[in-house]
């Protein structure tokens, strides 16, 4: 792109109408001699156009000295009125143009500056034509008029046409069948027919958009169909079919896996515990699977299955195990007679007959009872559960069970007290067997990282800073208790209107500023809080469903609808939204946590429906949003360190670790 400086002109050259002049040059208007001199000293100027009436002698004196250099920019004078042209000639400026010849004058400047590049391009094209004669593929080049401007000898032989025949034909006259017109699309390895009925393979095409004066056009490269090319084409088609089939099967397998996985507590707060799940399979069909259920009586049942090996075989065993466990627990919930020991006995009896002789199955089962503040654990060849105590020490909860095998499956359930436990980590060996940057296993570093972590994301941040790669599926539960030491808090209620929500947001911001939280963290957290406040208003107080909201937006009446429903005379206005903000200190880790709790009077939503997918690492799979949107939840979750809902879904806890 040429850069042309316009000096002291009343005409705005930036609005020049000629397409060529606009396409190949950028224009810069400058007023004042010193500004022009400084601009020329800075370089990157290809040409200067002087206004005949606006150019002083000081400027011309500088240009006269500048023109002595061979690299000086090209110059021209725009005749806007009567002027003495001799002083321009004395300065070495010999190009003049008026309003009527403005476009041609600009073109002459550009062509004069670009002549040396044109010469180089001409020699380069000649060399390319010489090289084209050395290949076996046919190469033809079309000019701007759509006629053949060049064909190598291989092209003439393959097409069975002479130079005279080729030069008189267009693309449509050479090929009877081709997938594009005017050579404006790329076509890879597709068979096509010539005017003489011969099949060819077009291996590549290229179209370059150039000025109308340039005769270089589109390029086609092709070769005749042979037995080897036909076989290659069949192989490509087979590969594409296999890829489509594999993709379809993976999608179906993922849907099946999500149907089997029972996740009722991830992203929820049950009694005094916050539950989080992390699941990172190496592939869709993996040996790891997990499940958790709310037993509806203050107890929560969780498990992780780690089948031996990887891939399809391990996945089949894992899915079999999970399906049986889920069914057994669901029946016991209906009958209100769940006993962990009884369920494990049934599972071991079932799965042993479905394991091969050389196959082993590792698993960990845990039941948290908030009524007695205990956890019952039965682990089969899995890493010990880590329990971080309130004094900061990390204990390992073990059970003596061996991995489950066809001829050996002995169970023992051990109970542990949770009264002094601050948080729990239940995990598969994929986490401890990950490699750190110094080549060692992460096993030794995990307890200390867990002690320092406040949430799942906080732990993952530390893990990812140390771990370079993992060679196994990773699954874990991060279970933390509610804070016991609150240093500052504020609670209030607002009515259901957008103005009241703005007031609530201002109060929360003022609370954070009073706690001397960094402004960069405040702005991010404010956005997350606003999303959850709007969720409480729309879906809680006003009872707007996702489908109804989308319909209102499509109709263009969403804002009007919200305004009407939140008027002070509306019944919806009197529905209150409760907000509790507090700062807590975790003695075990030393972390300061900011928590905002928002409650509405709505019916809530099915929390597992969205957080089941949220357990997967890195948005590994697409989430179906036809029945449930959850956009605000995902936005908020990406901005904060922890996001938890009550069982009913009408209370949300937003957690931020204050660094």
Taking the C-alpha atoms of residue 168 and residue 149, their distance in angstroms, rounded to an integer, is 10
Q: Which bin fits 556, alpha (ψ -120 to 50), beta or left (φ > 0)?
A: left
Q: Chain-wide mean pLDDT for the chain?
A: 82
Q: Is the pLDDT of residue 653 over 90?
A: yes
- What is the rounded CA–CA span in Å between residue 248 and residue 338? 39
The partner residues of 305 in beta bridges, in order of sequence, read 289, 363
pLDDT digits (tens, 9 = 90+) for 277-302: 999 888 777 889 999 999 999 999 99
Cα–Cα distance for residue pair 577/555, rounded to 1 Å: 28
DSSP-derived 3-state class of residue 518: coil
Q: What are the chain's domains?
A: 2-117 (3.40.50.2300), 133-225 (3.30.450.20), 261-481 (3.60.40.10), 487-658 (3.30.565.10)
How high is the pLDDT of residue 554? 84
Sorting pLDDT into bands at 50, 70 and 90, what band is 214? very low
Q: pLDDT at residue 614 above 80?
A: no
Taking the C-alpha atoms of residue 336 and residue 323, their distance in angstroms, rounded to an integer, is: 20
**Alpha carbon distance 153, 160 (integer Å):** 10
More reliable by pLDDT, 386 or 179: 386
- The reported pLDDT for the residue numbered 115 is 54
CA distance 149 to 140: 8
Distances (CA, A) of 68 to 74, 114, 344, 440, 505: 12, 19, 95, 69, 68
Give the pLDDT score at 181: 44
367: alpha, beta or left? (left if phi > 0; alpha if psi -120 to 50): beta
The answer to whether the beta carbons of residues 641 and 656 sit under 8 Å apart is yes
Partnered with residue 327 across adjacent β-strands are none
pLDDT in tens, 482-493: 988 899 999 999
Q: Which residue has the higher pLDDT, 101 or 400?
A: 400
Q: What does the angle CA 315 – CA 321 – CA 323 come to, to the nearest 5 degrees?
A: 100
pLDDT surpassing 60 at residue 618? no
Of the two residues 468 and 107, the one the predictor is more confident about is 468
- Looking at residue 206, its pLDDT comes to 56
What's the pTM? Answer: 0.65
The more confidently predicted of residues 172 and 514 is 514
The pLDDT, as a whole number, for residue 48 is 82
| pLDDT at residue 92 is higher than 70 | yes
Q: Distance (Å, rounded) from C-alpha 424 to C-alpha 415? A: 14
Interval 89-115 mean pLDDT: 67
Instruction: Flag whether pLDDT at 521 surpasses 90.
Output: no
**Of 148, 161, 164, 126, which Cα lies nearest the Cα of 217?**
148
> Among 359, 314, 368, 383, which Cα is nearest to 338's?
368
Which residue carries 């880590």 as its tokens? 386
| 131-161 tens-digit pLDDT | 888 888 888 887 766 778 888 999 998 888 8
Rounded to the nearest 5 degrees, what angle is found at the Cα of 57, between the Cα atoms of 51 and 59?
65
Mean pLDDT to the nearest integer, 298-318: 89
d(CA 580, CA 77): 73
Instruction: Write down the residue that tokens 């066809």 correspond to.
Output: 406
Instruction: Name the least confident of 250-254, 279-283, 377-381.
Output: 250-254
pLDDT in tens, 630-644: 677 888 888 899 999
**What letter would DSSP give residue 15?**
G
User: What does residue 2 show for φ and ψ, rounded to 5 degrees?
Assistant: -80, 145
pLDDT value at 69 more than 90: no
339 CB neighbour count, 10 Å cutoff = 11
Which secondary-structure segment (H or E) carries 357? none
High-pLDDT (> 90) share of the chain, %: 36
Residue 189 reports pLDDT greater than 70: no
The residue written with tokens 């732990």 in the block is 459
Residue 583 pLDDT class (50, 70, 90 cuts): very high
- Asked whether the predicted pLDDT for residue 169 surpasses 90, the reply is no
């Amino acid at each position: 792109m040429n850069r042309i400086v316009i000096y002291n002109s009343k005409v705005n050259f930036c609005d020049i109408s000629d397409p060529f002049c606009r396409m190949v040059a950028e224009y810069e208007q400058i007023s004042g001699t010193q500004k022009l001199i400084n601009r020329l000293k800075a370089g990157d100027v290809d040409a200067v156009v002087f206004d005949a009436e606006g150019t002083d002698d000081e400027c011309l004196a500088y240009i006269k000295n500048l023109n002595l250099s061979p690299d000086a920019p090209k110059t021209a004078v725009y005749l806007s009125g009567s002027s003495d042209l001799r002083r321009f000639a004395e300065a070495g400026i010999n190009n003049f143009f008026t309003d009527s010849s403005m476009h041609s004058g600009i073109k002459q400047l550009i062509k004069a500056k670009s002549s040396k590049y044109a010469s180089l391009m001409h020699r380069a094209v000649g060399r390319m034509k010489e090289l084209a004669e050395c290949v076996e593929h046919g190469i033809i080049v079309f000019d701007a008029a759509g006629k053949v401007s060049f064909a190598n000898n291989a092209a003439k032989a393959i097409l069975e046409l002479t130079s005279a025949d080729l030069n008189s034909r267009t693309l449509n006259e050479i090929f009877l069948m081709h997938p594009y017109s005017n050579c404006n699309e790329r076509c890879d390895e597709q068979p096509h027919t010539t005017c003489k009925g011969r099949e060819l393979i077009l291996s590549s095409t290229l179209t370059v958009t150039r000025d109308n004066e340039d005769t270089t056009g589109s390029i086609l490269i092709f070769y005749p169909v042979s037995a080897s090319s036909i076989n290659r084409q069949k192989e490509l088609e087979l590969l594409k079919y296999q890829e489509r089939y594999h993709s379809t099967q993976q999608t179906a397998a993922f849907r099946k896996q999500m149907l089997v996985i029972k996740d009722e507590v991830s992203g929820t707060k049950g009694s005094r515990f916050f539950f989080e799940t992390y699941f990172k399979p190496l592939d869709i069909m993996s040996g790891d699977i997990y499940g958790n259920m709310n037993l509806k009586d203050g107890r929560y049942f969780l498990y992780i299955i780690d089948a031996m090996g990887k891939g399809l075989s391990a996945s089949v065993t894992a899915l079999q195990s999970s399906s049986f466990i889920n069914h057994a627990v669901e029946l016991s919930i209906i009958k209100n007679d769940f006993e962990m020991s009884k369920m494990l006995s049934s599972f071991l009896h079932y799965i042993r007959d479905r394991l091969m002789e050389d196959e082993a199955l590792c698993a960990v089962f845990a039941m948290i009872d908030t009524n007695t503040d205990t956890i019952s654990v039965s682990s089969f060849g899995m890493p010990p559960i880590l329990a971080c105590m309130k004094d900061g020490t990390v204990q390992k909860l073990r059970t003596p069970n061996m991995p489950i095998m066809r001829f050996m499956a002995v169970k023992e359930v051990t109970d542990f007290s949770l009264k002094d436990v601050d948080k729990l980590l239940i995990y598969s060996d994929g986490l401890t067997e990950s490699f750190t940057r110094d080549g060692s296993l992460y096993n030794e570093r995990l307890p200390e990282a867990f002690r320092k972590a406040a949430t799942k994301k906080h732990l993952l941040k530390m893990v990812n800073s140390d771990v370079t790669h993992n060679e196994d599926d990773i699954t874990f539960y991060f279970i933390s208790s509610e804070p016991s030491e609150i240093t500052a808090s504020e609670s209030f209620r607002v009515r259901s209107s957008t103005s009241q929500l703005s007031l609530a947001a201002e109060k929360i911001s003022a609370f954070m500023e009073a706690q001397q939280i960094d402004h960069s963290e405040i702005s991010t957290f404010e956005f997350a809080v606003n999303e959850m406040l709007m969720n409480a208003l729309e879906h809680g107080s006003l009872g707007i469903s996702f489908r109804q909201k989308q319909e209102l937006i499509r109709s263009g009446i969403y804002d009007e609808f919200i305004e009407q429903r939140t008027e002070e005379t509306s019944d919806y206005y009197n529905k209150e939204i409760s907000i509790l903000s507090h700062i807590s200190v975790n003695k075990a880790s030393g972390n300061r946590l900011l928590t905002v709790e928002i409650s509405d009077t709505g019916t809530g939503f099915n929390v597992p429906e969205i957080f089941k997918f949220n357990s997967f690492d890195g948005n590994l799979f697409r989430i179906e949003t036809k029945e449930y949107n959850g956009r605000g939840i995902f936005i908020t979750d990406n901005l904060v360190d922890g996001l938890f809902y009550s069982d009913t879904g009408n209370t949300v806890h937003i957690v931020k670790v204050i660094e």
